[in-house]
Structure 1
Amino acid sequence: MQPPPPPAQQITFLYAEDLAASRRFYEAVLRLSVVQDQGRCAIYAAAPGGRAFLGVCQARGPRQAGDPRREGGVVLTLVSEAVEAWHAWLAAQGIACDGPPRRNEATGITHIFFRDPAGYLLEIQRFERPDWPAPAPPAPGG
């Protein structure tokens, strides 16, 4: 038996009680494009190339308190060379970050953390190590 081909795309789904506020955040602040509106869930292109997506959906109930970096938690990381520009943009939009961009020597990244309207922890990071794969160039017309 042959193994199946590797996944061609990826979607991370987040759930929010105030779906309208989350949609405004992802569309106006992070400037992600909606690729499919399912009513109770919007799916956004998280990066060019049609490979990475983010779904923001209506929650079935309130979020339970806890550290998002523990089992069952979620941290959404967006990779960008422009961490400092993102920090300035978020501040201009009234979004509080956990501090200015900082370098993590152990992992070879520079990053910031902030939260979306539903309380999810988001990170924007830049890899500063030679073993991180460069993104594929966008497909023609895409």
Structure 2
Amino acid sequence: MTPPPGFAQQITFLYAEDPAPCRRFYAETLRLPLVQDQGGCAIYAVGGNRGFVGICQARGPREVTDPRRQGGVVLTLVSEAVEEWHAWLTAQGIATEAPPVRAAIGITHIFFRDPAGYLLEIQRFERPDWPRP
């Protein structure tokens, strides 16, 4: 049997009880272009037409409080400009967990939260084995 073809695109859907502030955050603060408004979900492009994030109306409150545990979500956006993003977010009044940190695993990153409380990371790979866009 021949395996199916590889995946062409990826969407991460995030659910918010009040999606309006999240939609503004992803469009205005993170400056992601809206590619489709489905009413209950708005889908934004991340880095072209291969990666997307969807902001959707939640059916109820989130039950997972620590996103790094089973069932949690961390949305990671890859950028060479981690320090510039840190300055931009700070200027927009968005608190980050810490200034940019270079981790032992060969990345530099920051963490912050969106209006619905999702943990986001902006990360730069310092490793030569990471595939470049």
1:61 paired to 2:60: yes
The 3-state SS of whatever aligns with 2:25 is: helix
Cα drift, residue 67 of structure 1: 1.0
Give the counterpart of 1:118 among 103, 116, 119.
Answer: 116
Cα drift, residue 65 of structure 1: 4.2
Which residue of 2 is the match for residue 74 of structure 1?
A: 73
The 3-state SS of whatever aligns with 1:70 is: coil
1:84 paired to 2:83: yes
The correspondence of residues 22-101 of structure 1 with structure 2, limited to 5 A, is 22-48=22-48, 50-101=49-100
Distance 1:67 1:61 in 2: 17
TM (normalized to structure 1)? Answer: 0.92
- Which amino acid is 2:18 matched to? D
- Which amino acid is 1:6 matched to? G
Which residue of 1 is the match for residue 128 of structure 2?
A: 130
Which residue of 2 is the match for residue 16 of structure 1?
A: 16
- Which amino acid is 1:96 matched to? A
- Which amino acid is 2:117 matched to? G
Paired positions, count: 133
Q: Is the deviation greater in 29-38 or in 63-72?
A: 63-72
Cα drift, residue 66 of structure 1: 2.1
Unmatched 5+ stretches in structure 2? none
The 3-state SS of whatever aligns with 1:7 is: coil
The 3-state SS of whatever aligns with 2:67 is: coil
- Which amino acid is 1:128 matched to? E
Moved segments of 4+, more than 4 Å: none
| Residue identity (%) | 75
TM (normalized to structure 2)? Answer: 0.98
RMSD: 0.7
Distance 2:128 2:46 in 1: 23
Contact in 1 for aligned 2:64/2:71 (Cα 8 Å): no
